[in-house]
Structure 1
Amino acid sequence: MPAPKPLTLHTPSIPRATTARGTHGTHDHPVVSTLPTTQATSTTPPVTIDPAITAGKPGQLRDQYGRVAHDLRVSLTDRCNLRCTYCMPADGLPWIPTEECLTDEEVIRLITIGVERLHISQVRFTGGEPLLRKSLAKIIAATSALTTASGAPVHTALTTNGLGLDKQAKRLAAAGLNRVNISLDSLDRTRYHQLSRRDRLDDVLAGIAAAHDAGLTPVKINTVIMPGINEVDILPMARWAITNGYHLRFIEQMPLGPAGKWDRSGMVTAAEIMHTLRTGGELTPAQLERGSAPADLWRYTLDNGETGHIGIIASVTRPFCGACDRTRLTTDGAIRNCLFSHEETSLRDLLRQGADDTAIATAWAQAMWGKLPGHGINDPGFLQPDRTMSAIGG
């Protein structure tokens, strides 16, 4: 595949209306179009800027196509204690220097601005591996103490590889964490080691059990299926998750790992995963409201009669860009309006220039307004972002 496209970083000293296609003037009213849920092209040009943004009163993180971001993903570190083959090379990646990363106070201030000024209602902490951030409980406690525009508590969640969670689960729950998503790609020790390059399966399983016991439920398990490696784990994972009451989500591999390692033609698709599941049970559409959640939900009945729910995240073959409600804050303080964006807006630099909360909220809203209609993975000219998933935050 083509080499990654270089990243464009915006550092506005005075917030300006900047998008992936340039800077646009203001009009009397915003031109907003709506998107079908499966829209994934990246070629639709941006339209006029919302006057509320240029007036410094954004109110919420709306983009030009009518989508509103309520879900904030905060990457607390780009470092990780695994080396999953689809995420990073065996010898790791150059880590972001500490002085370039957000401090605890900066993270908390930006989350507070998002909740109190921009209608964020859910905050998910990601990485890298967020359990490696020593101040994680402090940041969770500060976040859970906030209230949304409706007066409800902020919902908090954590995406983790599970290493060390057995020792931290109770403390994080006490700090206000609501639930966890834990990555687990195989229940077979050899294949887990092959995928993660670490022999830590027992530690992950201990973390999953501890999260359940601490009340961080429903515990969701994220499983990436890699061709020729863990396709054989699809049925065992499904049986294990249903028997133990976990919510399993199979995920299509996305082009967010080491450059040149993703092959669209060799990817295990959602359709192939569903075909395998049907060989061991019955799949029927779940009678649950999906909303902006990324997973197609299915009720799965095993051959022995046990039932549960399984999600399938088909980011590549059935993208859900039209319902996306996410905004992302990287470890070094940049806003990304899409995982696959080639542009970022630095809020860290605004913070360190002494900008007030209104200026920061406005810059954040402008960054989100420029969000494209889709991630463009299936566009002929798609270029993988130069940041890997570990440096963006999942």
Structure 2
Amino acid sequence: MTLLADRHGRTFPYLRLSLTEACNYRCSYCLPDGWRADGGPRFLDADEVRRLVSAFAGLGMWKIRLTGGEPSLRKDLTAIIATVAATPGVRKIALTTNGCRLSRHLPRWRAAGLTALNVSLDSLDRERFRAITGRDRHDDVLAGVDQALAMGFDAVKLNAVLLRGINDDELPRWLDWLRDRPLALRFIELMRTGDNGEYFERHHLGADVIEDRLRAAGWTPCPRAPDAGPAREYSHPDYAGRIGLIAPYSKDFCVGCNRLRVTARGDLRLCLFGDFGVPLRPLLREDGQRDELMQRIRALLGHKAAGHFLHEGKTGITPHLASVGG
């Protein structure tokens, strides 16, 4: 099947689907005051998710990432994973989570069809973790990560937002931790959103700082998989783990874009930092609208820009990353 393609020659095997905007953390860079319901439309229900994923799979998308907010807050998450896994054409189902509920739910998610896992872990230091997230769940997250490694997932990855003056001195500790753990740690540059301008100015640090240290220590670039996210990954023969760098302010970051996003309320976002979203929900209310939905998605892809405008200080309509799943 021919993949979706835009007018810039990029193809799209990968959908990031937010299931909720709610989050039980208070991360300093995202939701420092916690999440509050805004009285807007409810989030997509399981049937709407089924219809949506079926349409995107019909357009050749074969990797689906379920995100939030924090998707484990959905009581029907296991059923949603099973529904996505049963969709013809879908080959990979990933989940991005803050990890606080891994130990309790991971076996049932795996049994439902989950194939890959991304866990947010901004520090290996328990007190720093608590200061960043507002929650003392560090031990729970680490236990869940080790459990995931023992369960045979296709991929286990950790996401750490790189914060100048807060966690940017932890590379040696991370390297020791990765020596015997076959997972990928990705350092993510802090991104400016509508709500975090002052925080961004204080704590943004370019990923090239970490990249220079890795190269000097003998780490070498890895080939990029067709369905990979935006991380530039590095490996070292002395380490079981890999390190990735997600650097949205780097030159040509958007050239390799291969993913689309749908918000928890059913809006298609062509770019994380775009200035508009297009409601797909009117075509998700009943079966029988799949062909029309597929046609709309194809047409909308023609409006995808060549890149974001973060360098110009334009963050689009994204107030914070929890609103669309990153």
The answer, yes or no, to whether TM exceeds 0.5 is yes
Following TM superposition, by how much is the alpha carbon of 1:95 offset from its aligned partner in structure 2, in angstroms? 2.5
Write the distance in 1 (CA, Å) between the matches of 2:8 and 2:101.
41
* Mapped pair 1:64 → 2:13: no
SS in 2 for 1:163: coil
Identify which of 51, 72, 76 aligns with 1:109. Answer: 51
* Mapped pair 1:236 → 2:173: yes
Contact 2:130 2:137 survives alignment (8 Å): yes
Following TM superposition, by how much is the alpha carbon of 1:282 offset from its aligned partner in structure 2, in angstroms? 2.2
* Mapped pair 1:84 → 2:27: yes
Counterpart residue number, 1:218: 155
Q: Partner letter of residue 138 of structure 1?
A: A
Q: Partner letter of residue 63 of structure 2?
A: Q
Following TM superposition, by how much is the alpha carbon of 1:161 offset from its aligned partner in structure 2, in angstroms? 0.7
Contact 2:6 2:304 survives alignment (8 Å): yes
Write the distance in 1 (CA, Å) between the matches of 2:14 and 2:201.
28
Q: Partner letter of residue 120 of structure 1?
A: M
Structure number with the bigger relative contact order (C-alpha 8 A, sep ≥ 6) is 1
Following TM superposition, by how much is the alpha carbon of 1:278 offset from its aligned partner in structure 2, in angstroms? 5.7
Q: Partner letter of residue 74 of structure 1?
A: L
Counterparts in 2 of 1:1-394, with a 5 A limit? 60-89=3-32, 91-95=33-37, 97=39, 99-116=41-58, 118-148=59-89, 153-256=90-193, 258-263=195-200, 266-277=203-214, 281-286=217-222, 288-291=223-226, 293-300=229-236, 305-306=238-239, 308-352=241-285, 356-379=289-312, 382-394=314-326
Following TM superposition, by how much is the alpha carbon of 1:219 offset from its aligned partner in structure 2, in angstroms? 1.1
SS in 2 for 1:244: coil
Following TM superposition, by how much is the alpha carbon of 1:290 offset from its aligned partner in structure 2, in angstroms? 4.4
Write the distance in 2 (CA, Å) between the matches of 1:253 and 1:371.
23
Deviation digits for residues 137-173 of structure 1 (CA, Å, limit 9, x no counterpart): 111111111222xxxx521001111011111111111
SS in 1 for 2:277: strand
Contact 2:29 2:196 survives alignment (8 Å): no
Following TM superposition, by how much is the alpha carbon of 1:364 offset from its aligned partner in structure 2, in angstroms? 1.9
Write the distance in 1 (CA, Å) between the matches of 2:155 and 2:297.
31
Counterpart residue number, 1:43: none
Q: Partner letter of residue 162 of structure 2?
A: I
Contact 1:69 1:327 survives alignment (8 Å): yes
Write the distance in 2 (CA, Å) between the matches of 1:96 and 1:114.
28
1:94–1:366 CA distance, 2 compared to 1 (3 A): farther
SS in 1 for 2:242: strand
Contact 2:231 2:245 survives alignment (8 Å): yes
Q: Which runs of 5+ in 1 are unaligned?
A: 1-58
SS in 2 for 1:263: helix
Q: Which runs of 5+ in 2 are unaligned?
A: none
Identity percentage of aligned residues: 37
Following TM superposition, by how much is the alpha carbon of 1:115 offset from its aligned partner in structure 2, in angstroms? 0.6
Write the distance in 2 (CA, Å) between the matches of 1:181 and 1:332.
22
Write the distance in 2 (CA, Å) between the matches of 1:355 and 1:171.
31
Normalized against structure 1, the TM-score is what? 0.76
1:215–1:290 CA distance, 2 compared to 1 (3 A): closer
1:296–1:348 CA distance, 2 compared to 1 (3 A): same
Count matched residues: 325
Contact 1:141 1:175 survives alignment (8 Å): yes
Contact 1:255 1:384 survives alignment (8 Å): no
Following TM superposition, by how much is the alpha carbon of 1:178 offset from its aligned partner in structure 2, in angstroms? 0.3
Following TM superposition, by how much is the alpha carbon of 1:63 offset from its aligned partner in structure 2, in angstroms? 1.8
Contact 2:178 2:240 survives alignment (8 Å): no
Write the distance in 2 (CA, Å) between the matches of 1:174 and 1:265.
43
Contact 1:72 1:326 survives alignment (8 Å): yes
Deviation digits for residues 1-34 of structure 1 (CA, Å, limit 9, x no counterpart): xxxxxxxxxxxxxxxxxxxxxxxxxxxxxxxxxx
Contact 2:181 2:240 survives alignment (8 Å): no
Write the distance in 1 (CA, Å) between the matches of 2:87 and 2:98.
27
Following TM superposition, by how much is the alpha carbon of 1:299 offset from its aligned partner in structure 2, in angstroms? 1.8
Following TM superposition, by how much is the alpha carbon of 1:202 offset from its aligned partner in structure 2, in angstroms? 0.5
Write the distance in 1 (CA, Å) between the matches of 2:118 and 2:186.
10
Contact 1:345 1:364 survives alignment (8 Å): no
Normalized against structure 2, the TM-score is what? 0.91
Write the distance in 2 (CA, Å) between the matches of 1:264 and 1:376.
17
Write the distance in 2 (CA, Å) between the matches of 1:99 and 1:285.
44
Write the distance in 1 (CA, Å) between the matches of 2:106 and 2:240.
27
